[in-house]
Structure 1
Amino acid sequence: MVSLTAGCPLNSYAAQTKHDIMTGAEVLESLGFSTIKGKRVGLLTHPAALIPGKTSSSPKRSTIQLLRKAPGVQLTALFGAEHGLYGKAKAGEEVKDSKDPETGLPVYSLYGPGPIRKPTAAMLKNLDILIYDIQDTGCRSYTFVSSLGLAMEGCAECGKSFMVLDRPNPLGGLRVEGNRL
């Protein structure tokens, strides 16, 4: 089952913020995490997946920080795509599974040694749902959209739910460039 959280404003929440567009993570938060309460959650993300502060002077937060503090939500695993969870690996460089020093959670690499590019049954066994929150530019040469597709496949094969936290295109989405397919 695929669940999509769109990054569109909700009137009551949007009126309280200074920006007109909400990320999927902000929508999830504004709904009180109701769609994932009581669930064991995995998160596929990277360093650019930040959430604006609640005020103009508040610092940005990562989705990891948001889900760790979410009431009734159990963040149980982290997943990294190309460049790793914290974006330290070079393009194409293999990244090994590890343990996150800040949270103590397992970090599963979907760009690891060997042919593994999609979550395995072993990686997903302690999850009810895998959430995807990656800021992408929409450039076809980027591997993030492939990671999205493979993560969806892996979850479908294991009977796990999957949610995409949508993000606006950082280029504005008002122009189309390049060859059309």
Structure 2
Amino acid sequence: MVGADRFSAYSGLLKNKSVGVVANQTSRVDNNSKHLVDFLISENITLTKVFAPEHGFRGTADAGEVVKDGVDTKTNLPIISLYGNNKKPTPEQLKGIDVMVFDIQDVGARFYTYISTLHYVMEACAEADIPVVVLDRPNPNGHYIDGPILEPEHTSFVGMHPVPVVHGMSIGEYAQMINGQRWLKNGLKTDLNVITVTNYTHNTEYSLPVKPSPNLPNDTAINLYPSLCFFEGTIVSAGRGTDMQFQVFGAPSLPSKLYPFTFTPQANDGAKYPKFKGETCNGLNLQNHKKLDQLNLEWLIEAYIAYGKKKDFFNNFFTNLAGTEKLQEQIEKGYTYREIRATWLKGLEKYDTMREKYLLYE
């Protein structure tokens, strides 16, 4: 049972208060029959504002698309976008809010921006002395940790904390780590309450009932996402503009002998301007690939070699995704996946020891 469904565990924190909600299309209750916002209103909770992350309140905007402020047509509540220029709620936007509820489904990858939104919401609320209630949800990639640890000089909205690419925590556990490690500005701490998931461990299979974003349409895409998202920092498409997002990859310049699967990206929901729009891409179809419990870098390394090891394979975004310049350098120098992974192990061990302090589930 997800945190949002445990109303009796958090109703006392909201009753007779003016409540702000950070939510999107994944914020569902009652076996996904109701949106959290509609549910709270039906329970006579006084909602004043809704804050929306990347992709918007209803989750239909493209990755990276500017989401505008607006009004929810169903409830007439003002919606404030926390994406684009305004990533952190301003003091003005927080006026009149007694408590903030955060309920968004994460997928466990450092570059998935909902945890960055969590950071800024916690920071703004700490500065304004507003308590935060996180309604926890399972992490579908919570069964492992992997990848390079982000280096501070490569901090960005797709990587704000010194954690690996796959962090292995629920969003509630992650909130506790942000607080406990004093990662908020000036070492602030948020008055934080996490409403836990019941009957859950990090190895529990969890199929997401609602797409967490337009380009993660199913369990396979969510599992492959931490590995295939690296292609977003290269000349290769990860399937945006198809209905196989993050389940295929390819590019017109990859050799068809090695990459026999073809797809042609077109504008669609969540990708108005996909890479290689209208062009036939040669690639691989991973829709039937077995579930990963480690990052797969071999697809990336092999594509780099097949492309001819050219300088234009990587773009500047790759370092933001990796959180380090080392990964690109290692691939360009011909390191194997095993050799690269060996350089992560000390950092992963140190991170895992730190992570232990904040875990709420086995």
Normalising by structure 1, report the TM-score. Answer: 0.76
CA distance in 2, matches of 1:50, 1:136: 14
State the Cα distance separating 1:132 from its structure 2 match.
0.4
Query: Would you say 1:37 and 2:15 are equivalent positions?
Result: yes
Query: Would you say 1:79 and 2:69 are equivalent positions?
Result: no
Report the secondary structure of 1:33's partner residue.
helix
Query: Would you say 1:26 and 2:5 are equivalent positions?
Result: yes
State the one-letter code of the partner of 1:26: D
| CA offsets 1:6-35 (integer angstroms, 9 cap, x no match) | xxxxxxxxxxxxxxxx211112x1347112
Whether the 8 Å contact between 1:33 and 1:70 is mirrored in structure 2 is no
CA distance in 2, matches of 1:37, 1:176: 42
Residue 170 of structure 1 corresponds to 140
Size of the alignment, in residue pairs?
151
Whether the 8 Å contact between 2:108 and 2:141 is mirrored in structure 1 is no
CA distance in 1, matches of 2:58, 2:113: 16
> Of residues 57, 61, 65 in structure 2, which corresponds to 1:93?
65
CA distance in 2, matches of 1:124, 1:50: 24
State the Cα distance separating 1:165 from its structure 2 match.
0.5
Query: Would you say 1:127 and 2:105 are equivalent positions?
Result: no
State the Cα distance separating 1:176 from its structure 2 match.
4.9
CA distance in 2, matches of 1:111, 1:171: 24
Whether the 8 Å contact between 1:46 and 1:81 is mirrored in structure 2 is yes
Residue segments in structure 2 that go unaligned for 5+ positions in a row: 143-201, 204-291, 296-343, 352-362
State the Cα distance separating 1:145 from its structure 2 match.
0.4
Query: Would you say 1:138 and 2:113 are equivalent positions?
Result: no
Report the secondary structure of 2:120's partner residue.
helix
Residue 149 of structure 1 corresponds to 119
State the one-letter code of the partner of 2:117: S
CA distance in 2, matches of 1:120, 1:109: 11
Taking CA–CA contacts closer than 8 Å with sequence separation of 6 or more, which of the two structures ends up with the larger relative contact order?
Answer: 1
State the Cα distance separating 1:96 from its structure 2 match.
1.2
State the Cα distance separating 1:157 from its structure 2 match.
1.0
Residue 42 of structure 2 corresponds to 69
CA distance in 1, matches of 2:81, 2:12: 28
- Name the structure with the higher strand share: 1
CA distance in 1, matches of 2:89, 2:10: 27
State the Cα distance separating 1:177 from its structure 2 match.
2.8
Please say which structure displays the higher CA radius of gyration: 2
- Name the structure with the higher helix share: 2
| CA offsets 1:23-51 (integer angstroms, 9 cap, x no match) | 11112x13471121000001101102222
Residue segments in structure 1 that go unaligned for 5+ positions in a row: 1-21, 54-58
CA distance in 1, matches of 2:64, 2:36: 24
CA distance in 2, matches of 1:69, 1:35: 16
Identity of aligned residues (%): 40
Whether the 8 Å contact between 1:128 and 1:161 is mirrored in structure 2 is yes
CA distance in 2, matches of 1:32, 1:145: 22
Residue 182 of structure 2 corresponds to none
| CA offsets 1:70-115 (integer angstroms, 9 cap, x no match) | 23x2011101000011111100111111111111010000003x2x
| CA offsets 1:140-180 (integer angstroms, 9 cap, x no match) | 12000000011000111112111100011235732853364
State the one-letter code of the partner of 2:15: K
RMSD: 1.9
Whether the 8 Å contact between 2:21 and 2:51 is mirrored in structure 1 is yes
Q: Which runs of 4+ in 1 moved over 6 A?
A: none
CA distance in 2, matches of 1:177, 1:52: 33
State the one-letter code of the partner of 1:93: E
Whether the 8 Å contact between 2:24 and 2:53 is mirrored in structure 1 is yes
Normalising by structure 2, report the TM-score. Answer: 0.40
Report the secondary structure of 2:105's partner residue.
coil
